[in-house]
Amino acid sequence: MKRLGSPIELEKELKEVMGEKGVDELLGKAKEYKKEIEIRGKIGRDLIEEISKLKKEPKWMLNLRLRALELFEKLPMPNWVEGIESIDVEEFYQYVRPEAQPGEEWNQLPDWFKEYYTKLGLPEAEAYALSGITTVFDSENLVTKVKEELKSKKVIFTSMDEAVQRYPEIVKQYFSRVFPIGDYKLAALHYALWSGGAFVYIPRNTSVINPVEAYFIIGSELEGQFEHTLIVAEDNAKGETSYLHFIEGCAAPVLKRFSFHNGMVEIYAGRNSQIYFTTLQNWGKSIINFNNKRAIANENAHVEWVEGSIGSKVTYTYPATILKGRGSTTRNISVGISNGPYIKDVGAKAIHVAPDTKSIIISKSISSGGGLATYRGLVKILKGAKGSFSHVSCDSLILDEKSRAYTLPRNEVDEPTATVSHEASVDKLSEDQLFYMSSRGIKEGEAKALIVNGFIREVLKKLPLETVSILTKVINLEFSELGGVG
Amino acid sequence: MSSLDALKEEGASLYRKLKWQEISDSPMVKSYTDWSMYEKYLGLGGDVRYEKPEGNYDFLVGDCGNVEPSYDYNGYIKVNEGKLAAYHFYELERLYKLKVSSGRHKIAFCVPKSKKWVSNHLILELEKGSKASIVVHEQRRSPGSTAIEVLLDEGADLELSIILEPDESFPSAYIIRKVIYNEGSANSFTFSTSSYMNRIEERNLLFKGSRLRHRSLVYSYRNLKVDNIMDTIQIGEGSEAYVAGLGMAFDSSLSSIRGTAVISEEARKSVSDLGIEALLIGDGARAYTMPMMKIDTGDVTAANHRASQQRLSRNLLFYLGSRGLTEEESTSLVLYEKSISILNHLSETKSFSEDKVKGVLKKIYLEGISRNYGPGGI
């Protein structure tokens, strides 16, 4: 398998695929495709039982869904963030199964799917960069490819639905363990309606060299997507370690009306494991994107979240790590770009439970064209997490007068031996910089992309190579003449 | 302008309907002000006795004082902004207004003694172009709320120290508003001890070309709680706000220090700087900091904020120890210096504020409120 050499190399490979357009422009208008099943209606017991029956799920999963439904009905809409209450979750199709036979080979799927798959550059990524890939289209996984590296190392990589059937004992043990069903109303909704997603199980002392990827595509308007990703790394013995890099990508074609994404990621990082989770969110501008991401880090484990939040009409995402084991660490890097009249409400949470835990949160947000970029974060150090340390750094860049930047951090320290610090700044785009670049023949869009790339350079240096080039490219596209359209 | 009677009536009908707050402060903690502490005092009857505070003051506000009550309200607190404001107006018996010209002024509230909720309200109006320094001192022996509104007319220049000493055994709430009109300037300081639950809600409104330099200092001890909020809303072009808050949490107390700096769309070319620090001194102490920023224009000159929560520097204490100071002496010296250094932007009201801060620190140490001074294990 070819290991990615440098960002330039990857950029070259992706160039052909990405062309010179924004991702939703690249995918074009939504294609007509046949749907085998569509479910929309009042979110109640009948609807949940119907979804579970279609999936031929075991009774325990149906019971879990019904418990989630009960909690969804009881819980109030969250009141710690404004705007969510206006989402009408019954307006969307809660389950959509496209007419296509899932399999391992993408080129055996219908033409409309192959076209999306190739335009997103997934065949190249699958061939050269990844050790496994799964693609969720609407509510179901259509392609799941597991390469030799995973098989030989006995790493389980499969769709979440298949995991429920084939590995019920492991799934029962970890599903909803990290992100409780009753955490809040939209989490309960997710558990009631979840469909599709990825499951990874990493045995002890196993490092996966090449990343695995899950790609999520919403094909139609007025659709809800509720995929669930669960990553479990076994506890390692003393002196052992394990490693996985998981990349998550999202896209949608140009839609006339809105669709709703309410996905979830749970990571259970066992002792001495290292889990890197990268999200490149580039939904089209018609998607309301709600993300629920949480990890538990056990003794000396490390969890790293990288969130490139570029697309969507509105995004709410706050990846969280619960530092449960002594010496566990987390780093959370987010880049949020709100280009156009859109909202990016992104951030991070670090909950320090055990002594000697450490969290670093770095956020870079950019707002342009009337956009609002918000950092919303929480660092909580519980009593007993002695000697813990946390540092939060948030920088915002506003590219024009009508755009906005909010920074809303919360630092709650219940342990007096802990140290927490936070710093933030807001800068504007300097007219001198733009003038200088335009005098050198650089177009405004290109100049903005250059400035944005410069602004986040410090963050890029900290990222895996696989991520850097894709993120850079996506930013360039976002500020190119066609980017942000749609 | 509304009459006090109308406000009382509106407050009476609103406080039962309104919530203490609509949006939670945090997904985990929900509210940093423990509103249940106030809830039990709502509607409680009883007598109120007012006593003169110790010391010499130019103006005494309240039933024991020398300021005539007013019956018309021209302030910035809206009766419908929440349950606290509604109940404050509902319980408000007298409203006081002072028009202040240039000079030095010392103002104190009469000290209410009661088990029922007592509302105090003072509006200070600073004349156009005047230059004044004002001390406002409030002590209370009752639960309740005190509103202090300071309106600086165009070009006025004010130095203001507000010293708040609530009764530890009752919940207390302070609603402080400073409105600085065009080209006005204020150097201000707020100091408060803590109580059963003490909420200090400061909001500063800045018009065109105005400037604010504000510092706040809060102490919490035993198992008492203080929630200090310092919001700054800049609505005028070229305005500048430099705001900093320091909290010290002794024993098993909670200090929450927070604020939101807002630069509105119209406040182009403005500067905002917000710094928050919390020192955790007791072994069971807790500290929460929230330095928030909402920047609604891309034409901002500078906007920064920062926060830190920590124990006293081990290196510093070690150094002082090596110079022959005991652990207690080192700690008290550092806390004293840190507290006093926050007053550096004051001149005419500095000595009064310094004496008050010193007095409270002395009380903390003499009464042995804090048993655990330095970093654990030293």
Q: In this structure, are residues A127 and A43 in contact, taking their beta carbons and an 8 Å threshold? A: no
What span, in angstroms and rounded, lies between the C-alpha atoms of A154 and A406? Answer: 45
Residue environment code for B23-37, b if the CB has 16+ CB neighbours within 10 A, otherwise e:
eebbbebeebbbbeb
With beta carbons under 8 A apart, name residues in chain B contacting A401. 268, 297-299
What residues of chain B lie within 8 A of the CB of A422, using their CB? Answer: 289, 291, 305-308
Inside any domain, residue A74: yes
Across the interface, whether the CB atoms of A412 and B282 are under 8 A apart is answered: no
Per-residue confidence band for A458, with pLDDT thresholds at 50, 70 and 90: confident
Both tokens assigned to A226:
């509720």
Residue A423: its chain B contacts at CB < 8 A? 304-306
Q: At what angle do helices A59-74 and A185-193 cross, to 10 degrees?
A: 150
Average pLDDT over residues A394-408: 92
Quick check: B84 and B173 in contact, CB under 8 A?
yes
**A249 in Cβ contact with A227 (< 8 Å):** no
Largest interatomic CA distance in chain B:
65
pLDDT at A269 over 80: yes
Tens of pLDDT along B208-257?
999 999 999 999 999 999 999 999 999 999 999 999 999 999 999 999 99
Domain housing A178: 19-317
Give residue ranges of B with CB < 8 Å to any A CB: 22-29, 249, 265, 268, 278, 280-300, 303-311, 375-376
Residue A367 lies in a domain: no
Q: What is d(CA A15, CA B84) in angstroms, rounded to the nearest whole number? A: 59
CA distances from B321 to B281, B341, B372, B375, B378 (A): 17, 22, 16, 13, 11
The residue that leads in pLDDT, A465 or B6, is B6
CB B288 within 8 A of CB A413: yes
CB A483 within 8 A of CB A27: no
Assess whether pLDDT exceeds 50 at residue A456. Answer: yes
Tokens 């949020």 identify what position? A336
Cβ contacts of B285 on chain A, cutoff 8 Å: 416
Q: Tokens representing A189?
A: 């909704």
Selected residue of A411, A423, A427, A448 to mutate for chain B interface (largest B Cβ count, 10 A):
A411
- Tell me which chain A residue has its CA closest to the CA of residue B27: A80
| Confidence band of A465 (pLDDT split at 50, 70, 90) | low
Residue A227 falls within a domain, yes or no? yes
Q: Do the chains contact at A401 and B268, CB–CB below 8 Å?
A: yes
Mean pLDDT score, B173-184: 98
Q: How many CA atoms lie within 13 A of B330 on its CB side?
A: 22
* Average pLDDT for A332-345: 90
Distance of alpha carbon A14 from alpha carbon B232, whole angstroms: 47
> Which residues does residue B184 pair with via DSSP β-bridges, in sequence order?
none
Would you tell me the crossing angle of helices A45-54 and A59-74 to the nearest 10 degrees? 150
How many other C-beta atoms lie within 10 A of the C-beta of residue B181?
20
Residue A388 maps to a domain: no
- Among all residues of chain B, which has the CA nearest to that of A391? B308
Distance from CA of B185 to the nearest CA of A (A): 24
Does a structural domain hold residue A399?
no
CB contact under 8 A, B304 and A399: no
Contacts of B313 in chain A (CB under 8 A): none
Please give the pLDDT value at position B310.
Answer: 87
Number of domains in chain A: 1
Secondary structure tally for chain A: helices H, strands E: 14, 23
| pLDDT score for B377 | 27
- Here the tokens at position B361 are 């620190």
By C-alpha distance, which of A264, A106, A243 is closest to A181?
A: A264
Quick check: helix, strand or coil at residue B328? helix
Q: Is residue A54 part of a domain?
A: yes
Q: Do B292 and A417 touch (CB under 8 A)?
A: no
Q: Which residue of B268, B298, B304 is in closest CB contact with A400?
A: B298
Q: Contact A426/B282, CB-based, under 8 Å?
A: no
Chain A residues with CB under 8 Å of B270 CB are none
Q: Which amino acid is at A317?
A: T
Residues 6+ apart with CB under 8 A from A458: none
Distance of CA B250 to the CA centre of its chain: 19
Residue of chain A nearest B283, judged by CA positions: A416
Beta strands in A298-357 (DSSP E): 302-309, 314-317, 320-323, 329-339, 343-352
Confidence label for B376 from pLDDT (cuts 50, 70 and 90): very low
Residue A220: what are its φ and ψ, rounded to 5°? -135, 165
Residue B215 is predicted with a pLDDT of: 98
Mind telling me how many Å the CA of A24 is from chain B's nearest CA? Answer: 27
Q: And the tokens for A206?
A: 């196993």
Q: Which residues lie closer than 8 Å to A242 by C-beta, 6 or more apart?
A: A202, A203, A204, A205, A206, A207, A233, A234, A236, A270, A272, A273, A274
Query: What is the pLDDT at residue A23?
Result: 56
What gap in Å lies between CA B44 and CA B269, rounded to an integer? 49
The answer to whether position A158 is within a domain reads yes
Helix axes A7-18, A465-479, angle to 10 degrees: 40
How far apart are the CA of B232 and the nearest CA of chain A, in angstroms?
14
The pLDDT value given to residue B374: 36
Span A117-131, average pLDDT:
84
Q: What DSSP character marks residue A237? A: P
Structural domain includes residue A278: yes
- Residue A246 CA to residue A344 CA, distance in Å, equals 23
The residue that leads in pLDDT, B96 or A122, is B96
The reply to whether residue B298 touches residue A410, judged by beta carbons under 8 angstroms, is: no
> In this model, does residue A13 exceed pLDDT 50?
no
Per the CB < 8 A criterion, the answer to whether A313 and A286 are in contact is yes
In chain A, % of residues over pLDDT 70: 88
In chain B, which ranges are continuous DSSP H helix?
A: 4-14, 36-39, 83-91, 314-322, 327-341, 350-366
- pLDDT tens, residue by residue, A77-94: 876 666 666 678 888 999
In terms of pLDDT, which residue wins out, B261 or A12? B261
Interface test with A, best of B292, B312, B370 (most A CBs within 10 A): B292
Give one DSSP letter per residue of B56-116, joined into a string: --SEEESTTSSS-EE-EE-SS--TTS-HHHHHHHHHB--EEEEEE-SEEEEEEE-EEE-SS
Contacts of B1 (CB under 8 A, 6+ apart): B72, B73, B74
Distance from CA of A383 to the nearest CA of B (A): 8
The arithmetic mean of pLDDT across residues A245-272, rounded, is 92
Optimal mutation site among B293, B296, B311, B313, interface A, most CBs of chain A within 10 A: B293
> How many CB atoms sit inside 10 A of residue A142's CB?
22
Widest Cα–Cα separation across chain A: 68
Cβ separation B25–A410 shorter than 8 A: yes
**Mean predicted lDDT score pLDDT of chain B:** 92
Residue of A nearest to B303 (CA): A426
Handedness of CA B336, B342, B343, B345 (dihedral sign): positive
Are the C-beta atoms of A462 and A362 separated by less than 8 Å?
Answer: yes
pLDDT at residue A186 in the model: 92
Three-state SS at A92: coil
Q: Are A266 and A178 in contact (CB under 8 A)?
A: yes
In order, the DSSP letters of B217-245 are EEEE-TT-EEEEEEEEEE-STT-EEEEEE
Instruction: Compute the distance between CA of residue A266 and CA of residue A274 in angstroms, rounded to an integer.
Output: 14
pLDDT over 70 for what percent of chain B? 96
Q: What is the pLDDT of residue A486?
A: 28
User: How far apart, in Å, are the Cα atoms of B224 and each of A270, B79, B257, B286?
Assistant: 40, 28, 14, 11
**pLDDT surpasses 50 at B307:** yes
Q: How far is A141 from chain B (nearest CA, A)?
A: 33
**Which chain A positions have a beta carbon within 8 Å of B280's beta carbon?**
413, 416, 418
If DSSP codes are grouped into helix, strand and coil, which group holds residue B204?
A: strand
Per the prediction, chain A carries an average pLDDT of: 87
The dihedral built from the CA positions of residue B63, B67, B68 and B74, taken in this order, carries a sign that is: negative
Residue from B172, B121, B109 nearest B150 by CA: B121
Q: Classify residue A418 by its DSSP letter.
A: -
A298 pLDDT higher than 60? yes
